[in-house]
Amino acid sequence: MRYLLLSIVLIVLSADSVCGYEITFFEKVEVESSELSLGDIVSFHGDHETTNALKIHKIGAAPAPGKTISVDARRIIREVHRTFDDLPEINWTGHATVTVYRKGNRITGSEIDQLLTDYLKRNNDKFRGAQVKHTIESLPAPFYLPTGTFECDIIPANPQIIGSKRVSLIFKVDGKVIKNLSIHCRIEAYAKVVVARNRIKYGTILNP
């Protein structure tokens, strides 16, 4: 019975050695990081002591947010074998080319307009009851920012805000400045004012 059990174990081990260690390339993936790791573009089948090291092995830069690149599987295979000495027998399968898309936050003219609207609302106490309007006269093409915690600092050309003809926007993700933008924008205030019906001499005291 013991010999029979030993024979079964040997048969199983032999089968594993024939099948080897399989790594499969995906056809398409989506990533968020600025760098690509092998684990982003492949799946691992089987277990080996180098699996974790292979998963986090850096293979290059990811595309810009909102963009796509193609990764050649053959190049990655050659690079992996040059880097790691003690690899098991690997059965590389899957697609010859991996399409990698990097996620991002798309910023359009509508988002920029809303950012300015919110900024003016936050500073409403400075306008003394006046109605403030902004008119954007030029906008950039839509662009992408990396995923993460987003914030935008707005700096009007005039520190008093009213009368500004240009506004700077500083876009940050996770506290890091990603993009600076300057746009033409008129910020104007409208309020009711008292107007005399007739001409009044200078120094005249007006009664209620």
Are residue 91 and residue 114 in the same domain, yes or no? no
Q: Is residue 203 part of a domain?
A: no
Q: Is residue 195 part of a domain?
A: no
Q: Is residue 201 part of a domain?
A: no
| pLDDT tens by residue, 62-104 | 999 999 999 999 999 999 999 998 888 999 999 999 999 999 9
Q: What is the pLDDT of residue 117?
A: 94
Phi, psi angle pair for 173, to nearest 5°: -130, 125
Counts for the chain of helices (H) and strands (E), in that order: 5, 14
Q: Which domain holds residue 97?
A: 2-103
Are residue 113 and residue 183 in the same domain, yes or no? yes
Are residue 65 and residue 95 in the same domain, yes or no? yes
CATH of the domain at 61: 2.60.480.10
| pLDDT tens by residue, 50-62 | 899 999 999 999 9
How many domains in the chain?
A: 2
Query: Residue 167 forms beta bridges with which residues?
Result: 156, 183
Q: Is residue 207 part of a domain?
A: no
Q: What is the pLDDT of residue 41?
A: 98
Among 72, 77, 42, 39, CA closest to 58? 39
Are residue 11 and residue 89 in the same domain, yes or no? yes
Phi, psi angle pair for 162, to nearest 5°: -65, 135
Q: What is the pLDDT of residue 106?
A: 96
Q: Is residue 172 part of a domain?
A: yes
Are residue 117 and residue 34 in the same domain, yes or no? no
Are residue 19 and residue 34 in the same domain, yes or no? yes
Q: What is the pLDDT of residue 131?
A: 85
